[in-house]
Amino acid sequence: MSSTKKIVITYAKSLFQNLNNSKMPSETRVMYTQEGEEGATGAKVARFTPNIYIIGEELLLLRSLIFSSKKFTEFIQNPTNSEKKKLEVLLMIFPGFTVPFNCFLKVLTERNHLSLLPEITEEYSKILLQLKNCTKVKLTTPTILQESYGNLLLTTLKKLTNSESILLSVSYNPNLIGGFLLEYKSTLVDLTLLKEFSLFFSET
Mean pLDDT by 10 residues, the chain (204 residues): 91 93 77 54 70 92 88 90 93 90 95 94 92 86 75 82 84 79 84 56 50
Q: Quick one: 143 and 74 in the same domain?
A: no
Q: Quick one: 82 and 14 in the same domain?
A: yes
Q: Quick one: 13 and 94 in the same domain?
A: yes
The number of distinct structural domains making up the chain is 2
30 within a domain of the structure (yes/no): no
Q: How far is CA 52 from CA 29, 98, 122, 124, in A?
A: 18, 12, 14, 9
Per-residue pLDDT, 39: 52
44 within a domain of the structure (yes/no): no
Per-residue pLDDT, 42: 59
Domain boundary (128, 153, 187) is at: 128
Per-residue pLDDT, 32: 59
8 within a domain of the structure (yes/no): yes
Q: Quick one: 100 and 143 in the same domain?
A: no
Asked if residues 136 and 184 have their Cβ atoms less than 8 Å apart, the reply is: yes
Per-residue pLDDT, 119: 94
116 within a domain of the structure (yes/no): yes
The packing angle between helices 52-68 and 70-77, to 10°, is 110
Range of the domain at 107: 3-21+50-128
* Numbers of helices and strands, H then E, in the chain: 8, 6
Q: Quick one: 139 and 109 in the same domain?
A: no
The domain that contains 115 carries what CATH number? 1.10.520
Q: Quick one: 124 and 57 in the same domain?
A: yes
Q: Quick one: 75 and 100 in the same domain?
A: yes
pTM above 0.75, yes or no: no
Per-residue pLDDT, 200: 44
Q: Quick one: 65 and 159 in the same domain?
A: no
